[in-house]
């Protein structure tokens, strides 16, 4: 049996300098478009480590010095929200866990950055202008994060 998910996660808004945003469509929920998200693997996992790991697992984009996307391209927005866990995914958490704390990050990548999806998790991706990306997200808070992008990159 898989261990329960830790109810603390990251949301990473991946974008280009022109503010085109990468959205990925969930494999387990048709038409559910989102930014990269994911929970900590262990309680003491630093949030930056969670963000770097999830970006690589879900998109194949490696965030590391010496690559086209250096560590400095990842920005901790110092913003967190709490939300009710969607009922369709509640079984992944320990009994009685109903809320998740999500920490927001931005990741600026070069134009034409290659994306390799994890087919177990996502079935499609799209680069969209930030306004269109915000409108396509199934999660209102994900849309809110993307709408903050122009202010965050100044």
Domain borders along the chain are 8-153
Residue found under tokens 């010095």: 65
Question: What confidence category does residue 1 fall into, taking pLDDT thresholds of 50, 70 and 90?
Answer: confident
Mean of pLDDT values over 26-32: 91
- The pLDDT value recorded for residue 114 is 96
Please state the CATH superfamily assignment of the domain spanning residues 8-153 in this structure: Nucleoside Triphosphate Pyrophosphohydrolase (3.90.79.10)
Mean pLDDT over the full length of the chain: 96
More confident residue, 29 or 5: 5
58 is in an annotated binding site: yes
Tell me the HSE value of 71 on the side-chain side, using a 13 A CA sphere. Answer: 5
Q: Specify the pairing of strand 99-108 against strand 8-15.
A: parallel
121 is in an annotated binding site: yes
Question: What confidence category does residue 25 fall into, taking pLDDT thresholds of 50, 70 and 90?
Answer: very high
Helix (H, G, I), strand (E, B) or coil at 75: strand
5 is in an annotated binding site: yes
Residue 113 tokens read as: 């950055």
- The pLDDT value recorded for residue 140 is 93
CA pair distance 149, 154, nearest whole angstrom: 9
Mean of pLDDT values over 34-43: 97
Helix (H, G, I), strand (E, B) or coil at 54: helix
In this structure, what are the phi and psi dihedrals at residue 100, rounded to the nearest 5 degrees? -125, 145
* pLDDT-above-90 percentage for the chain: 93
């Amino acid at each position: 049996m898989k261990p329960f998910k830790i109810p603390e996660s990251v949301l990473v808004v991946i974008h280009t300098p022109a503010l085109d945003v990468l959205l990925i469509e969930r494999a387990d929920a048709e038409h559910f478009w989102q930014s990269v998200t994911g929970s900590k693997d262990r309680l003491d996992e630093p949030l930056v480590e969670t963000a770097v790991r999830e970006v690589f697992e879900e998109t194949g984009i490696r965030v590391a010095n010496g690559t086209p996307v250096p560590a400095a391209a990842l920005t901790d927005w110092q913003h967190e929200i709490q939300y009710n866990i969607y009922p369709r995914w509640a079984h992944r958490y320990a009994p009685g866990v109903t809320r998740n704390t999500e920490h927001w990050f931005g990741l600026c990548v070069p134009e034409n950055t290659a994306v390799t999806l994890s087919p177990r998790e996502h079935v499609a991706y799209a680069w969209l202008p930030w306004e269109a990306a915000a409108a396509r997200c199934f999660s209102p808070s994900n849309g809110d994060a993307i709408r903050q992008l122009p202010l965050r990159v100044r």
